[in-house]
Amino acid sequence: MQRKPKSKYISLLTLLLIVSVLLACKMLSKSNMFEGTEMQDAVAAFKKKIDGPIKALSLTIEKDSATLRAQDPKNLQHVDEYKYVKGLVVGPTPVQLNLLERNLDKTLFNLDEVNLAATPALAKAAVERTKLEGGKVAKMEIERSLNLSAVFDKSSNDLIKSGGVQWRVSVEGTRENASVVANMKGDITGVDLSQTAQAASVNYYEGDAMSKAAAQIKEAFGGRVKLIELIIYPKYVWFQAQDPQKPDEFNQYKCDINGVSRSRAIDLRSTLGPKSWNLTAKDFLFDLDEVNFAKTPELAKAALDTLQIDGGHLTLMKLSRGSWGTIRDDKEIKWDVSISGARQKSGYVIYDAQGNQKSVKPAE
């Protein structure tokens, strides 16, 4: 009669031990925040802990943890830090704001507007886009960027982060590192490979590099590119083109190892000079597809061989209907291949769009 309570006690203890082991296993299984629904679970835990709307200053995601810096809903002047590790939230810990963060009205963002369900897909895409040997995502950071169009806040006169909300994903390889930038939806908008061997080896005068760049530009513009001029340098391609969404506007762009980026809008009249003011767009614009970019390395070598300048090297390769701000009378698309060398000697060779030599300006 007395053994029954003891047996019942042992059974209960066994059950508690089993439940504890299962819970521990579940917690230990949460080992990679870049996979599955881990980040959604983390946000749910943050919301439960804060017990109010999450106005975030930043969210940092690492393999084993997520760190949130968010406004205190009970004191809007304060920001606290919370850390999520294996299902548990630690915090709040007070945060000392720096000069870039103090204007909370401009630097905070609504965490619900960030598509954290995209975390696994973005992690995979970042590794694929950077193409590093042994590449793995090391960290993801979500916060506002600097507002380049209004760097200083007029009310506080402090430099602040008031630009768009973006992800910055750091990818570490066995030999080098890189990063990607994504928008709030988790779509990649930029890649930074500037510190990689890929960047060091790029030369747009060699091999099929320029053909690949032309294809990259075409894809970025949605299939058709109307150019004013295009200049090829060893490490990047600079060009002015019609805005693909607004045909009456023209911009300056750059294409390099990191992709195609827009730098600024341009005033067409100032760019082309007084001789162009009475011309229409069809007089100076040309299509990217009208140029045979496979000829780039061949023309680079041909110009060097033609000019025979001591210590000669390519200065630039330019494509346009005009020559240094003026429109040619024949309206023909031409390459200007400029060569410089020792004792400040320089010259250039002009070719048509398909690579046929048209004229030579000997070295001076």
134 phi-psi bin (left φ>0, alpha ψ -120 to 50, beta other): left
Reported pTM: 0.63
If we measure between CA atoms, which residue out of 63, 61, 69, 66 comes closest to residue 92? 69
On whether both 109 and 235 belong to a single domain, the answer is no
* Mean pLDDT of the region 2-17: 53
Q: Is residue 12 part of a domain?
A: no
On whether both 257 and 173 belong to a single domain, the answer is no
Tokens 């090391």 belong to 138
Give yes or no for a contact between 309 and 345, defined as CB atoms under 8 angstroms apart: yes
Q: What's the pLDDT at 280?
A: 64
Q: Is residue 14 part of a domain?
A: no
pLDDT above 90: percentage of residues in the chain: 40
Domain end position, chosen among 195, 220, 242:
195
Amino acid (one-letter) located at 23 = L
On whether both 209 and 331 belong to a single domain, the answer is yes
Q: Is residue 328 part of a domain?
A: yes
Q: What's the pLDDT at 19?
A: 45
Give yes or no for a contact between 268 and 252, defined as CB atoms under 8 angstroms apart: no
On whether both 243 and 280 belong to a single domain, the answer is yes
On whether both 217 and 339 belong to a single domain, the answer is yes
Residue 35 belongs to what domain range? 31-195
Q: Is residue 123 part of a domain?
A: yes
On whether both 190 and 207 belong to a single domain, the answer is no
Q: Which pair of tokens denotes residue 76?
A: 């809007």
> Band of the pLDDT at 17, cuts 50, 70, 90?
low
The one-character DSSP state at 10 is H
Could you give the CA distance from residue 257 to residue 276 in angstroms, rounded to a whole number? 34
Q: Is residue 291 part of a domain?
A: yes
Domain end position, chosen among 195, 230, 257:
195
Angle 112-117-119 from CA coordinates, rounded to 5°: 110
On whether both 247 and 163 belong to a single domain, the answer is no
Q: Which pair of tokens denotes residue 20?
A: 């504890």
On whether both 246 and 176 belong to a single domain, the answer is no
Query: Would you say residue 288 has pLDDT above 90?
Result: yes
On whether both 141 and 185 belong to a single domain, the answer is yes
DSSP one-letter string for 321-332: SBSSSSB-TT--
On whether both 151 and 214 belong to a single domain, the answer is no
Give yes or no for a contact between 234 and 255, defined as CB atoms under 8 angstroms apart: no
On whether both 224 and 183 belong to a single domain, the answer is no
On whether both 151 and 222 belong to a single domain, the answer is no
Q: What's the pLDDT at 167?
A: 92
Q: Is residue 277 part of a domain?
A: yes
Which stretch of 47-51, 104-108, 278-282 has the lowest confidence by average pLDDT?
Answer: 278-282
Counting the structural domains of the chain, the total is 2
Could you give the CA distance from residue 236 to residue 260 in angstroms, rounded to a whole number? 10
Q: Is residue 228 part of a domain?
A: yes
Domain end position, chosen among 179, 195, 211:
195
pLDDT digits (tens, 9 = 90+) for 70-80: 998 888 889 99
pLDDT above 70: percentage of residues in the chain: 79
Q: Is residue 68 part of a domain?
A: yes
Query: Would you say residue 50 has pLDDT above 60?
Result: yes
